Amino acid sequence: MKRNLVIRSLQSLLALLAISVIAFAMSHLTGSPVDAMLPDDAGPEEAARLTKLWGLDRPLYEQYFVFLGNALQGNFGDSIKWQGQTAFGLVLERLPATIQLGGFAIVVSTIIALPVGVLAAVYKDTPFDSAGKLVALLGQAMPNFWLGIVLIWIFAVHLNWLPTSGRGGFSHMVLPAIAMGWFQVAAFMRLTRSAMLEVLDSEYIKLARIKGVPERRVIWVHALKNAAIAPLTYFGVIAGSIFTGSVVIETVFAWPGTGLLAIDAIRGRDFPVIQAVVVTFAGVFIVANLIVDTLYAYLDPRIRYQ
Amino acid sequence: MRSPSERPALEVRDLETRIDTKLGLIKAVDGVSFSVDHGETLGIVGESGSGKSITALSILRLVPKPAAYIARGQVLLDGEDLLEKSETEMRKVRGKRISMVLQDPQTSLNPVFSIGFQVVEAIGMHADAPRKTLVRRAVEALRRVRVADPERRVDDFPHQMSGGMKQRVVGAIALGSFPSVLIADEPTTALDVTIQAQYLRLLKDIQQETGLSIIFITHDFGVVARMCDKVAVMYAGRVVEYGPVREIFNSPAHPYTKALLNSVPAVEEDVDRLYSIKGQPPAFWDMPEGCRFEPRCDVAMQRCKTEYPNKFARASTGSGAHYADCWALEEPEWIPSRS
């Protein structure tokens, strides 16, 4: 088990390293930042001076190691667009807003999707199951940016129940969380349902009933602990997609988080900030999956004793 | 080992279980009756799909809902009709008074819970005792089914055990609360032969110690000969022949029973071709009007096509009732039976 975790952690580090290469390469693919930075009337001496100053004349691998060394210390350089602020500082400043919204969306969608998925399996082919399927279908069919706009149009513009955008109290979180979470509720619910259906059909569930275990316990203890493995895998994915999804949702709802920062940075060709965002997102994604791997072992002894 | 009590431990009367399938409503169990005395073993024999397992699940009222349901009949446990009990009352019967061992030990145990958890739970369902006592009883239950080193094994998970060992654990779960009836649904089919023999021996020993009644579901006549006192032969949802094991082996009455016995190859004979019953069992949604075995029967008469046979009982039997559903039995030795 411990060995497993060590191996997985090392793999995670490797993944992070690969991402750092991509993030680094990104800034070099679109041409020299010098051209982007200098005014049009600057001469070649000026360009050469800047190139030397920023170390762009050195070999690429050397530049990469400098980048990596700095990145490890949380230093992605200064923002180009937001003068006087460090790229990583900007990300850290915006991160709480993203975590607040994303965390809220994850928690609420899990609280809804898990029990509904379980009950849809238990009451298979009943109106409850059909209603669940419909909700899931809608959630998976509607693109989240479109859903966000429609939600704003109905609940903020027409009904005037909730604010259209921005970060504020609880009421500000409702619409973006729905727009973000509906798809996850759908996917999570369907996964739970199919996993439960398979488990409920198994011999050990039959044996639990033969033992005289009450049906409620059969479902929520015996079956769910087995069925939880598939949705848990997915949990690692959604935890990540909350961040990638934040890029779209935060833009639609003008939510001042990392996602919106990423979009603004891309518009301003602010590479240090983009790099900082990418590496941070990747880090969060990898940590989420590491947690999921640990939880697996807790759920399934066959993994624990490998 | 006979109990002084006159009443059988378990008696099933005219049980009918229907299943609502895509192809229509079928009678998976169609008017099945049998009884098991205390300390006795009844074998239920038949091909796959003959309704053996559904009969077993019907006794525990655990037929797959909502497609399957028990349409009529009685299941009398010590004279009490289980079909009239509420679901809550049934839970006190399951595992406590009637228990069951399933076919495949590889899938019968829950992979994510320890052996100890699963045995303790089974016992704890029917006993109000502190955890420590339950654990002690679980260890004892495991020892009774001869799991070596049970104190240590309780912390193991199913995947750390062999098939034979798992089936013993299932046995410990089934017998942990000392039920009076054990239904064993092909418990040794998935085990290899030596392990199978050990397991059968174990069941016999436990039966001798506790006076347990066993309903043994199998398609293996070798197992029947070794384990059972009585046999019910099932075909297409009905018991077609029923009687003491010796009579069934020595003088089988129903052509289907004869055919089944013929398909067991004898060791002494040098046979080139193994005997097999021609044809397939009828589909439940397309039952013949008359005898269900008629299309495959060598001695079928015109009457067999249109009328389901009466039950004929052997006129004089010393060792218990022996009867069969077959028109060919209309002869002095056999008399129409009312049951």
CA-nearest residue to B108 within chain A is A204
Whether B110 and chain A come into contact, CB under 8 Å, resolves to yes
| B129 or A302, greater pLDDT | B129
DSSP string for residues in B236-268: TTEEEEEEEHHHHHHS--SHHHHHHHHTS--SS
CB contact under 8 A, B99 and A210: yes
Q: What is the pLDDT of residues A16-52, one digit of tens each?
A: 888 888 888 877 776 666 666 677 777 778 778 877 7
Q: Which residues contact A86 (CB under 8 A, 6 or more apart)?
A: A75, A76, A77, A78, A79, A272
Q: Which helix (H) or strand (E) holds A285?
A: helix A271-299
Residue-wise pLDDT for A59-93, tens only, equals: 888 888 888 888 888 887 777 777 788 888 888 88
Q: Is the peptide bond preceding residue B66 cis, with omega within 30 degrees of 0?
A: yes
- DSSP class of residue B313 equals E
pLDDT digits (tens, 9 = 90+) for A219-234: 999 999 999 888 888 8
Q: Identify which of B103, B112, B121 has the shortest CB distance to residue A226.
A: B112
Q: What's the rounded mean pLDDT across residues A141-169?
A: 83
Residue B4 pLDDT > 60: no
- Mean pLDDT value of segment B254-260: 91
Which residue(s) pair with B232 in the sheet?
A: B44, B242
Helix axes A87-122, A271-299, angle to 10 degrees: 40
Q: Which amino acid is at B314?
A: R
- pLDDT of res. B1: 44
A230 interaction partners in chain B (CB closer than 8 Å)? none
pLDDT value for A219: 92
Q: CB within 8 A of B161, min separation 6: which ones?
A: B115, B153, B169
Sheet with B323-325: strands ordered across: B98-101, B181-185, B213-218, B41-45, B230-235, B238-244, B323-325, B311-314, B334-336
- pTM assigned to the model: 0.82
Report the chain A residue with the minimal C-alpha distance to residue B182.
A210
Nearest CB among B96, B103, B112 relative to A212 is that of: B96
B92/A214 Cβ within 8 A: no
> Taking every pair of C-alpha atoms in chain B, what is the biggest distance, in angstroms?
68
Kindly indicate the confidence band of residue B180, based on its pLDDT and cuts at 50, 70 and 90: very high
For A84, the 3-state DSSP assignment is coil
B21 interface with A at CB cutoff 8 Å: no
What's the one-letter identity of residue B175? L
**A51-56 long-range contacts, CB within 8 A, separation 24+:** A56/A32
Cα A137 from Cα A134, distance rounded (Å): 5
A240 has pLDDT over 80: no
User: What ipTM was predicted for this assembly?
Assistant: 0.88
User: pLDDT digit string (tens) for B65-106?
Assistant: 888 999 999 999 998 999 999 999 999 999 999 999 998 888
Q: For the CA atoms of chain B, what is the radius of gyration?
A: 21
pLDDT at residue B237 in the model: 92
pLDDT at B2: 45
**pLDDT of A271 higher than 90:** no
More confident residue, B178 or A170: B178
Name residue, tokens 């909502």. Answer: B66
pLDDT of A61: 83
Instruction: Please report residues of A whose CB lies closer than 8 A to that of B113.
Output: 222, 225
Residue A3 scores a pLDDT above 80: no
